[in-house]
Structure 1
Amino acid sequence: MKNLLLVGLFLIVFHPIFAFQNASDPISTLLRARMEVEDPTMKPSIAGVDLENSELIHRFYADRNFEAVWSKSGVLLELAYEMRFEIRQSKFDGLLPSDYHLTMIDAYFQTFEGNKSAKKPNDTGQLVDLELLLTDAFFLLSRDLELGKVDPTSLKGSWEIVRKSSRMSYLDLLNRAVAEQEIRRNLERLYPKFSIYKKGREVLRAMDERTKTDTLDWKPVKLDKSIKVGDSHAFIPVLRERLNYWGYAKSDSARDSKRYDSAMFLGVQAFQLRNGMEPDGIIGKNTALGLNASPLMLFEKAAVNLERLRWLPDTVQNLEMILVNIANYQLDYVDKLDTLLSARVIVGKQYHESPIFTAEMSYIVFSPYWNIPPSIARKEIIPAVRKNPNYLNQKNMDVVTFSGKQVDPASINWSARSFPYMIRQKPGGSNSLGLVKFMFPNSHNVYIHDTPTRSLFAKEDRALSHGCIRIQNPAQFAQMLLKDDPSWTPEKIDQAMHQTKEQIVSLPRKIPVVLLYLTFWADSKGQPHFRQDIYDRDAEILEALRK
């Protein structure tokens, strides 16, 4: 009986059905030999180029008995051509197709197409080379599409939004793509779940077409003064040509006229409105900068921002959220995918940049004190008190201990090296925080608040704060946040904002706040929107993308 079992086991193990099924296929045999390297720490390479995903590649082919997927019987399959096409299309994701072995892949395709014309068989070793390159390219591209090519933590400009982790098995994805014979649809599963991403790809495609036909001279125009309608200026013909190039209102004047006429004025206004500027028709610094941007420059700016979108975690898609795009000077309150409130904001100036992070808003403070940060107290307030002993009284400020006990300013040695107190500004119309602040506790001590200097919201450049976000219509914002409690009427909110003591109101739910930095996005209609890079952060990301 025991012998019969052994014989049966022997027959099962060594039966041809259970033996390596592709032993007679030279491509399968060579594939296995290439992958079964003696030193597992060494990456397989093709013509000196390492395969970055050797472990995944080995698992992929081992699971399918080392059967090729990109060719059959020595001939390239349609799936291989689709994969090469998708590698080329990665430029519209702002990525470099050359990062995915495109140069070598193209060379092999050219060789095989030449063999086809000459009716010569393809070399087995070259077919295996291409097989491995295309598979490695799929895994490389999958990773970059899902997570981004650049690690934001490696950049100088801080990006403290937690980068998402991979939510998909690239091995499973490739198996699915092969089974469905569909590369594009499966790669799209890796895209950020924001509609603006696909719309942004369409913009890159359009910009790429423009770069191929662009014949304009995009030498930067630098103005020493603003140009108003009716003025004459040497740069008017160049600026008129650029406005016409982008499809804005055409001028009635001769092509080389140096006069800024009314038709060109309308074009400038339309250009300003699309690009987030004050549509006053005055050609100043920002308008000139915008008109200096060539199709190639705009392509690169869009590429940088598609990369930023790939960094965002899926949790940013919460149904209710507060989104602040620092580069656009705008806050949007979004609930159930509808934007219920948009407001102008003031953000940190270049040397006091507003940080990029997420946190949860949990409470509102009406009629707040402004607890002056130690750095501002040391650099600004204390020197002012030394010059003017009545400064604190004039600014409606007082001094307290860290336990909250009031201190007589006259009893303090303002020339001492140490200052073991806290200076705060009392509630009121002159308070630097205005009449209300919206709190989302974070390590940066950044929050959203009102301001007494409302005239600043009329400015085009609103990078003016020490890092906090100042909002233009705080009462309306408070009403939105408290909308679930009918007792918070506009009148009650106004009363709470005009008290002599703070009033803290906890929100019934915590609302995600996302501080972002996007200098490009495409809206739901596919229209592009470009903004100035106020913190000079785009160039570093572009350089990393192009490495």
Structure 2
Amino acid sequence: MQKIFLVLLFFIASSAVFAFQSIESDPIAALLRTKLELENPTEKLEVSGRVLESDVLVHRFYADRDFEEVWSRNGILLELAYEMRFEIRQAKFDGLVPEDYHLALIDAYFQTFEANKAAKKPNEAGELVALELLLTDAFFKLAEDLELGKVDPAKLNGDWEIARKTSRTSYLDLLNEAIAKGEVRQNLESLYPKFTIYKKGREVLRVMDERAKADTLDWKAVKLDKAIKVGESHAAIPVLRERLNYWGYAKSQSVLDPKLYDSTMFLGVKEFQLRNGMEPDGVIGKNTAIGLNASPALLMEKAAVNLERLRWLPDTVQNLELILVNIANYQLDYVDKLDTLFSARVIVGKLYHESPIFTAQMSYIVFSPYWNIPPSIARKEIIPAVRRNPSYLSQKNMDVVTFSGKQVDPASINWSAKSFPYMIRQKPGGSNSLGLVKFMFPNNHNVYIHDTPSRSLFSREDRALSHGCIRLENPALFAQTLLKADPSWTAEKIDQAMHQNKEQIVSLPRKIPVVLLYLTFWADSKGQAHFRQDIYDRDAEVLAALKQ
């Protein structure tokens, strides 16, 4: 037994000596080990004045490979190093900042090494080690930002409550795989959000970047004192026509009167409005002017913000049956296995009653619903109205109940009292503020999707009008689509259920994820860019965090 133990000790000692000798015989490995092991463990590792964000991973990575270099061999840069630098540069098409990944410093080392090559001088070991660490740290940091996003949405002021993803990837394994295959691009691309619109959005950003390089237009904001209709003259028309031509919405042509809003320009304006989510009426109003004020550089920033938002979304919302509400686009889409089965316009929360961003599970439908008025609305709107007009409740088809559901005579209530221990609700019917049906996905915000008696509002271009809930155009068809698995729910039966004097609750056969999100840019399956106005002024904060 003692002999076996001595033999084991001999092999362990021999292995340690061999490893030590192999490191000592490789000056790059020796320098890497010295740099990584002798730095102050309480501080972030620095290389050429730059802090390594992933220093722990970097140390583990090189320790696992006995401090053997990756990006160079025998003092010469490998093709893999050039590919890594290229991917850092390409990060701008993900809306990220290449300098976050040490690009300027990496470029400086590349220039030095290329100059050495031209002068037939050897590269210094210390500089090779510095570049080695910078490229590896850049890989780990870029991988993390591509998978999870650079910005933590929980730290933003905006009401984004979709839980941030947790990493499902070993970045150590990912880099080792990239080295084994000699392929950086493919491994980093595996971290992209799996939504088709992400890759399409990257391509839009690439095209916009080329446009921005060649852009010579003056994008000074055009401000209108009134809407311009076709046939009218205005001093801003020449500039607006030039911008329409730039984006390909109106054919360049000589005009007799440059200030005249002519019929050719009118067609271009309508096409521009349609693409950008506006009413295609051809009238150049505030929203159209704002859209035409957007330069390529500004649109690139908007695209960058929204690619980051796509990185925040959990993978569980892809390729599923789900209900997607893009608040900035005023639209609801019901998607099942990538097929859009239903689309409709929606009305969302006002600026001071913003619809929150979250996910929940839709589980039931309520036909002919009561509207249980939220205490905040009752306190701020309903109770003051009753004080002014004692007949207000009867006129609005409302009643008062205790929290146990017992009816209370409004005449017995002191409407001037400080406390109000009751609940006000609006009875089912055509005048009910929820309309004839509501779709429930229980959540902390008491937000749901519902019908509305104010159908004329759906024709408006700006539809941020509600207290936070989502009002839906054509809710009867939506109900029929959700209940399609049960053939007894015909259009006639749904219409009947929507016109009763009491509620009817219908459970869905399965829970359907509802995702409320906020995208002011996306690219469709054909690669066409779609931009929307930032109705809640949320883009600037994300952009600032991306640039920080």
What range describes the TM-score normalised by the shorter chain of this pair?
over 0.9
Deviations 1:181-221 (A, max 9, x none): 00000000110010110100001101111110100011111
Give runs of aligned pairs for residues 72-471 of structure 1, distance below 5 A: 72-250=73-251, 252-254=253-255, 257-471=258-472
Deviations 1:67-111 (A, max 9, x none): 100000001111001000100000000000000011110111111
Equivalence for 1:66: 67
Alpha-carbon shift at residue 6 of structure 1 (Å):
2.5
Work out the CA distance in 2 between the residues paired with 1:95 and 1:365. Answer: 44
Work out the CA distance in 2 between the residues paired with 1:502 and 1:255. Answer: 65
Work out the CA distance in 2 between the residues paired with 1:466 and 1:226. Answer: 29
Work out the CA distance in 2 between the residues paired with 1:46 and 1:98. Answer: 15
- 1:12–1:18 contact (8 Å) kept in structure 2: no
Deviations 1:357-376 (A, max 9, x none): 00000010000011111111
- 1:253–1:259 contact (8 Å) kept in structure 2: no
Say how many residue pairs are matched: 547
What amino acid is the match of 1:45? E
Deviations 1:37-81 (A, max 9, x none): 264222221122221211111111111111100000001111001
- 2:301–2:543 contact (8 Å) kept in structure 1: yes
Deviations 1:435-477 (A, max 9, x none): 0000000000000000000000000000000000000000000
Equivalence for 2:14: 14
Three-state SS of the structure 2 residue aligned to 1:259 is: coil
- 1:386–1:414 contact (8 Å) kept in structure 2: yes
Distance of aligned partners of 1:483 and 1:394 in 2 relative to their CA distance in 1, 3 Å threshold: same
What amino acid is the match of 1:320? E
Q: Are residues 1:472 and 2:484 paired?
A: no
Equivalence for 2:542: 541
- 1:252–1:261 contact (8 Å) kept in structure 2: no
Alpha-carbon shift at residue 224 of structure 1 (Å):
1.1
What amino acid is the match of 2:149? G
Three-state SS of the structure 1 residue aligned to 2:24 is: coil
Equivalence for 2:49: 48
- 1:253–1:261 contact (8 Å) kept in structure 2: no
Distance of aligned partners of 1:67 and 1:421 in 2 relative to their CA distance in 1, 3 Å threshold: same
Distance of aligned partners of 1:238 and 1:255 in 2 relative to their CA distance in 1, 3 Å threshold: farther
Distance of aligned partners of 1:8 and 1:221 in 2 relative to their CA distance in 1, 3 Å threshold: closer
Structure 2's unaligned 5+ residue stretches are none
Deviations 1:136-163 (A, max 9, x none): 0000101101001111011111110011
Alpha-carbon shift at residue 23 of structure 1 (Å):
2.4
Alpha-carbon shift at residue 2 of structure 1 (Å):
4.2
Range moving further from structure 2, 3-12 or 302-311? 3-12
Three-state SS of the structure 2 residue aligned to 1:22 is: helix
TM-score, normalised via structure 1 length? 0.98
- 1:252–1:263 contact (8 Å) kept in structure 2: no
Distance of aligned partners of 1:436 and 1:8 in 2 relative to their CA distance in 1, 3 Å threshold: closer
Three-state SS of the structure 1 residue aligned to 2:289 is: helix
Range moving further from structure 2, 302-311 or 371-380? 371-380
- 2:75–2:123 contact (8 Å) kept in structure 1: yes
Tell me the C-alpha RMSD between the 2 structures. Answer: 1.4
Deviations 1:219-259 (A, max 9, x none): 11111111111011100000000000001122655286100
Work out the CA distance in 2 between the residues paired with 1:435 and 1:4. Answer: 84
Work out the CA distance in 2 between the residues paired with 1:281 and 1:459. Answer: 15
Deviations 1:271-291 (A, max 9, x none): 011101111111111110000
Determine what percentage of the aligned residue pairs are the same residue: 79
Equivalence for 2:31: 30
- 1:221–1:288 contact (8 Å) kept in structure 2: yes
Work out the CA distance in 2 between the residues paired with 1:394 and 1:116. Answer: 88
What amino acid is the match of 2:424? I
Work out the CA distance in 2 between the residues paired with 1:377 and 1:5. Answer: 82
Work out the CA distance in 2 between the residues paired with 1:178 and 1:66. Answer: 14
Distance of aligned partners of 1:45 and 1:252 in 2 relative to their CA distance in 1, 3 Å threshold: closer
- 1:251–1:264 contact (8 Å) kept in structure 2: no
Distance of aligned partners of 1:233 and 1:182 in 2 relative to their CA distance in 1, 3 Å threshold: same
TM-score, normalised via structure 2 length? 0.98
Alpha-carbon shift at residue 316 of structure 1 (Å):
1.0
What amino acid is the match of 2:6? L
Range moving further from structure 2, 12-21 or 182-191? 12-21
Distance of aligned partners of 1:256 and 1:54 in 2 relative to their CA distance in 1, 3 Å threshold: farther
Distance of aligned partners of 1:251 and 1:260 in 2 relative to their CA distance in 1, 3 Å threshold: farther
Alpha-carbon shift at residue 5 of structure 1 (Å):
6.1
- 1:228–1:260 contact (8 Å) kept in structure 2: yes
Work out the CA distance in 1 between the residues paired with 2:174 and 2:332. Answer: 37
Alpha-carbon shift at residue 513 of structure 1 (Å):
0.2
Work out the CA distance in 1 between the residues paired with 2:307 and 2:465. Answer: 27
Distance of aligned partners of 1:354 and 1:3 in 2 relative to their CA distance in 1, 3 Å threshold: closer
Structure 1's unaligned 5+ residue stretches are none
Work out the CA distance in 1 between the residues paired with 2:368 and 2:4. Answer: 91
- 1:322–1:332 contact (8 Å) kept in structure 2: yes
